Every structure is written in C-alpha cells, then in structure tokens.
C-alpha cells in the first residue's frame, strides 16, 4: 500500500478516535447535567443523542476495522506473491524430523 494511503488511514483513524473521545466527554457532561437535575435537555432527548452517537461511533469503528483488516490481508497476499515469484516457495519441502531423508 502506498504511503499516501497509509497516511490517509492514519489520519482517518486519528480523527475517529478524537471524535469518539469528544462525544464521550459530551455525553458524560450531558448525562451528569440530566442526572443532577439541570434541565438542559429532557431525558428522552439525552437518550436519543446518546443512541445516535454510540451507533455512529460503532459503525465508524467497524468500517475502519474492516479497512485495516483488508489492508493487512492485501499486504500479506502481496508479499506472498512476491516470494512465490522469486521461487522461494516453489521448491518442494522434503525431509523428515531429523533433517535427513532415507531413500528406499
């Protein structure tokens, strides 16, 4: 994978982590305000906001995880193909546990 794509994925992951942290702090403060009796929003509005934020964060992290998993598999397959083209994996593996093979 090129460096530009790696940098893009890194920045996307960092943005997702910062966004999730900010939403977590927001939900904690809003939840504290609701529970302490400060009527900034009603409990139903708070729960709706929390549900949307949690669902969105979960979907975002699932997509990022799938992207990173795809990247890892692609890099593994690319490396394996490179080794096979060189012939390192094309040679048959012979021998036994002792390292010697008896001819019958």
**pTM of the model as a whole:** 0.48
Measured distance between the N- and C-terminal CA atoms of the chain, rounded to whole angstroms:
49
> Residue 57 pLDDT more than 60?
yes
> Are the C-beta atoms of 71 and 9 separated by less than 8 Å?
yes
Q: How far is CA 57 from CA 15, 21, 50, 61, in A?
A: 11, 10, 10, 6
pLDDT the model gives residue 52: 86
Domain boundaries, the chain: 3-85
Highest mean pLDDT among 2-6, 26-30, 39-43, 96-100: 26-30
pLDDT the model gives residue 17: 79
Provide the percentage of residues in the chain whose pLDDT is more than 70. 80
Supply 56's token pair.
């969105």
* Cα 74 from Cα 80, distance rounded (Å): 10
Residues in the chain: 104
pLDDT the model gives residue 100: 52
> Are the C-beta atoms of 23 and 53 separated by less than 8 Å?
yes
């Amino acid at each position: 994978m090129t460096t530009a794509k790696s940098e893009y994925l890194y920045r996307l992951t960092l943005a997702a982590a910062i966004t999730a942290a900010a939403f977590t702090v927001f939900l904690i403060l809003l939840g504290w305000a609701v529970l302490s009796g400060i009527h900034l929003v009603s409990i139903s509005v708070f729960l709706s906001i929390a549900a949307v934020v949690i669902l969105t964060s979960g979907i975002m992290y699932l997509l990022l995880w799938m992207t990173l998993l795809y990247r890892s598999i692609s890099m593994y397959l690319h490396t394996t193909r490179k080794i096979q083209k060189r012939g390192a994996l094309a040679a048959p593996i012979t021998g036994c546990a002792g390292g010697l093979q008896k001819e019958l």
